[in-house]
C-alpha cells in the first residue's frame, strides 16, 4: 500500500473540518428537539424591552409584517385584541341573554296567559290570505333561517358545549359541516329574503292605526281588538327588522364569506361583530314570531300552511282587511272539494 503524500493529507483536512461542523449542527438540532425551550431560544433571537416597545407601538418593518401581500400590520395588532375583547365580553354574552331570555319569556307568557283562542266560533267560510308563491318563499326563507341560526349558534358556542362532551374528533367533523352549511346557504338566504321583502312591502307600510295597536298591546290591553289591516303593527315591526337588521346581517355575512375582495382585516373584524349582534337579535325575535304564528294564536298557522284563514280569525285579528275582502269568502266544503279560488291563488286586497 502506498503512503500518503503531504499534499494528500492537506487535501483531506477541509473534509474533516466540514464533517466536524455538520456533526455539531446535527447535535444542536437533536438537543433543540429534545428541549422545546432550547428550540425556541435557538430559533428566535433574544428580544429586549426596546424591541417589544417598537413592535407594540405599531412601527412596521421587514421583521414585524405578516405574510399577506402588501401588508403593513405589525406583529401585535391592537385592533385584533379589541375585537377579541368585544366578542368575549359583550357579543357572546349578549347572544346567550337574547336567545335564552326570549325562550324563558315565551315559556312564562304561555304559562301565565296561555294560547290566544278565537272569541267567536268559526264560520267555516275561508278567505285567501297568502298565495302559493308567497307561501313557498316564506317556508324556504324560514327553513334557511333556522338552519343558519342553528349553525351560527354552533359556530359561536359549539366549542364550549359539544367539544367537552363528544371529544375533538366528533367536534371537528361537526364544525366542518357547520361552516360548510352556514357559508353556502347564507348567500341563498340573502337573495330569497330580499325577494320576499319586496313582495310584501305594500302590506307593511306604517299606518296611523298601528299606534293604537301598540297602545293596546296587540289586544292584550282592554277587551276590544285593535284595528289592523292585512298586516298588524307587530308583523310590520318584524318585517322592518328583517329589512334593516336582516340586510345588515346579509351584507356583513357576504363580507366574511368572500374575504378576497380587498377588504382590510379591520373591516372583517367589524363585519364579524355586526353579523353576530344582528343574527343573535333576529334569532331571539324570530322565536317570538314563531310562537305567535303557531302555538300562541289559534288559526294563525293555518294561513301560512294552507293559504286560507277562517272569517272569524280575519275579523278578530285583521278587521280592516276583513271588511275589504269579506265578500270573497268561500265555504270550506268548496275548498275541500278542490274548486279553485275565483281569482286564482292571489288575494285581491291591498290593505295596511
Instruction: For 42-68, write each residue's pLDDT tens digit.
Output: 555 566 777 667 666 655 555 554 545
pLDDT of amino acid 344: 47
Q: Output 205 or 61, whichever has higher pLDDT.
A: 205
| Domain annotation covers residue 19 | no
Beta strands (DSSP E) in the chain are: 125-128, 308-310, 330-331
The CATH number that applies at residue 142 is 1.20.950.20
| Domain annotation covers residue 348 | no
pLDDT of amino acid 73: 53
Domain carrying residue 182? 78-336
pTM of the model: 0.77
- Does the pLDDT value for residue 76 go beyond 90? no
Instruction: For 15-52, write each residue's pLDDT tens digit.
Output: 555 555 455 555 444 444 445 555 445 555 566 777 66
Cβ-proximal residues to 45 (8 Å cutoff; 6+ apart), any chain: none
| Domain annotation covers residue 53 | no
| Domain annotation covers residue 46 | no
| Domain annotation covers residue 297 | yes
CA 190, 195, 196: angle at the middle one, nearest 5?
Answer: 95
| Domain annotation covers residue 189 | yes
| Domain annotation covers residue 164 | yes
- Does the pLDDT value for residue 188 go beyond 90? yes
Quick one: which of 273, 327, 330 has its CA closest to 126?
A: 330
| Structural domains in the chain (count) | 1
| Domain annotation covers residue 151 | yes
HEC sequence for 191-208: HHHHHHHHHHHHHHCCCC
Average pLDDT over residues 251-267: 88
pLDDT of amino acid 135: 96
d(CA 38, CA 24): 15
Instruction: For 81-109, write each residue's pLDDT tens digit.
Output: 888 899 999 999 999 999 999 999 999 99
* CA diameter of the chain: 124
Amino acid at each position: 500500500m502506498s503512503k500518503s503524500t503531504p499534499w494528500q493529507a492537506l487535501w483531506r483536512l477541509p473534509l474533516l473540518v466540514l464533517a466536524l461542523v455538520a456533526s455539531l449542527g446535527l447535535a444542536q438540532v437533536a438537543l433543540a428537539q429534545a428541549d422545546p425551550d432550547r428550540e425556541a431560544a435557538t430559533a428566535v433571537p433574544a428580544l429586549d424591552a426596546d424591541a417589544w416597545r417598537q413592535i407594540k407601538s405599531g412601527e412596521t418593518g421587514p421583521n414585524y409584517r405578516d405574510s399577506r401581500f402588501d401588508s403593513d400590520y405589525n406583529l401585535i395588532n391592537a385592533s385584533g385584541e379589541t375585537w377579541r375583547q368585544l366578542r368575549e365580553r359583550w357579543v357572546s354574552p349578549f347572544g346567550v341573554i337574547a336567545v335564552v331570555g326570549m325562550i324563558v319569556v315565551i315559556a312564562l307568557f304561555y304559562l301565565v296567559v296561555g294560547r290566544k283562542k278565537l272569541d267567536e266560533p268559526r264560520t267555516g267560510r275561508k278567505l285567501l290570505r297568502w298565495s302559493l308563491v308567497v307561501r313557498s318563499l316564506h317556508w324556504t326563507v324560514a327553513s334557511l333561517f333556522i338552519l343558519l341560526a342553528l349553525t351560527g349558534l354552533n359556530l359561536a358556542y359549539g366549542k364550549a358545549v359539544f367539544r367537552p362532551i363528544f371529544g375533538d374528533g366528533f367536534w371537528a367533523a361537526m364544525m366542518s359541516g357547520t361552516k360548510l352549511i352556514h357559508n353556502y346557504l347564507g348567500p341563498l338566504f340573502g337573495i330569497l329574503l330580499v325577494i320576499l321583502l319586496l313582495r310584501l312591502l305594500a302590506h307593511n307600510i306604517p299606518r296611523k292605526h298601528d299606534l293604537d295597536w301598540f297602545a293596546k298591546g296587540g289586544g292584550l290591553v282592554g277587551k276590544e281588538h285593535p284595528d289592523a289591516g292585512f298586516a298588524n303593527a307587530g308583523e310590520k315591526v318584524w318585517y322592518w327588522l328583517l329589512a334593516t337588521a336582516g340586510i345588515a346581517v346579509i351584507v356583513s355575512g357576504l363580507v366574511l364569506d368572500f374575504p378576497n375582495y380587498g377588504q382590510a382585516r379591520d373591516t372583517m373584524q367589524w363585519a364579524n361583530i355586526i353579523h353576530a349582534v344582528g343574527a343573535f337579535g333576529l334569532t331571539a325575535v324570530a322565536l317570538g314570531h314563531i310562537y305567535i304564528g303557531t302555538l300562541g294564536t289559534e288559526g294563525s298557522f293555518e294561513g301560512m300552511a294552507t293559504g286560507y284563514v277562517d272569517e272569524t280569525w280575519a275579523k278578530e285579528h285583521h278587521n280592516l282587511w276583513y271588511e275589504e275582502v269579506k265578500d270573497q269568502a268561500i265555504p270550506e266544503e268548496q275548498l275541500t272539494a278542490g274548486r279553485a279560488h275565483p281569482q286564482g291563488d292571489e288575494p285581491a286586497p291591498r290593505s295596511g
